[in-house]
Homo-oligomer: A and B are copies of this chain.
Amino acid sequence: MAETNHRITLAQRPVGAVTDSCFRADDVDIPTPGPGEMLVEVRWLSIDPTIRGWMAHDTYLPAIEIGAPIRSGGLGTVIESNNDDYPVGSLLFGMTGWQQYAVMDAASQVVPDGVEPEAALSVYGVTGLTAYFGLLDVGRPVAGETVLVSGAAGATGSVVGQIARIKGCRVVGIAGSDEKCAWLTEELGFDAAINYRTDDVAVAMAAACPDGVDVFFDNVGGDILEAAIGNLALRGRIVLCGAIAQYNDETPRPGPANLATLIANRGRMEGFIILDYLDRAAEAMLELAGWVMGGELTYRTDVIDGLDNAPAALERLFTGANQGKVMVRLETS
């Protein structure tokens, strides 16, 4: 065990893109767990776009305080326990934050033996649950329908597309490079893929979705959302999961000019937050595990080593450099 707790804290709130100046490393005393609590040594961090929102302002959770460690999901091994349900040595998922040591409470979940940390943080973690409930509960696709996914090579999008394929839908993905597009169609079984950096997205979308878009799972927002509204099928559904194209905007950009077409199309656009579904996590994990073990659902992780590289890992999400779920693996003491 180290002598101090090394942390990455919030130095200043981002204005526009997240930059290194938003963060400050420090070393403080290792915290002491109270009654019913556990001290964990943090092993892995889940790097998610929503962290930028938490750094910037109040969202569905209060903003991170200046000087506090960056809020983050993560995995940690229990090294001291005041709770018999969480014995020393067990691996926990919870809000560890960007630090070496964290005090966790009974809201934490034990990662079952045999589940790899990479899987626990991706396909069985918030990412997989977001894909599962967002697509199936909010989007409600029916076999034979066309499902369009933006950020399709990302951690969530790649799982969304595969679930849609498993459920018998035609699946079209939008991603930011030919290599990502090839991965979608050649390895994940997408029916078509659109490179938004080189294709005219609205035109390519119309070609790839000749009967219109029945479900659009949107991780991106911006122009891609507008194009999808323009290609929406009758009674199409738009699942608003994220808007990463806009998170770094210093001033809000105008929204889609074609929203009123939702009237004639009887379209539905709906946002959701995965926190609302955590009490139903077990049903999703069971079905996801069946698909993974049956070889129908694959996932890719983008592992960065070292706590001090967590800021760079977060920045990767916004440049689109990542392919699959971004996570940070901490040094073990």
List residues of A whose CB falls within 8 A of some B CB. 53, 59-60, 221, 225-226, 240-243, 246, 252-260, 262-273, 276
Is A255 touching B258 in the complex (CB atoms < 8 A)? yes
Which of B221, B246, B264 interacts with A59 by CB under 8 Å? B264
Is A259 touching B266 in the complex (CB atoms < 8 A)? no
List residues of chain B with CB within 8 A of the CB of A253.
257
Interface-central residue, A242, A254, A271, by most chain B CB under 10 Å? A271
* Least CB distance, A323 to chain B, in whole angstroms: 24
Is A240 touching B254 in the complex (CB atoms < 8 A)? no
Known: A254-B254, A257-B253, A257-B255. A267 touches B271 (CB 8 A): yes
Which of B59, B246, B259, B270 interacts with A267 by CB under 8 Å? B270
Is B263 touching A252 in the complex (CB atoms < 8 A)? no
List residues of chain B with CB within 8 A of the CB of A246.
260
Known: A257-B255, A258-B255, A269-B268. A263 touches B241 (CB 8 A): yes
Is A268 touching B268 in the complex (CB atoms < 8 A)? yes
Is A269 touching B270 in the complex (CB atoms < 8 A)? yes
Residue on B with the closest CB to A262?
A: B271
List residues of chain B with CB within 8 A of the CB of A59.
264
List residues of chain B with CB within 8 A of the CB of A268.
268-271
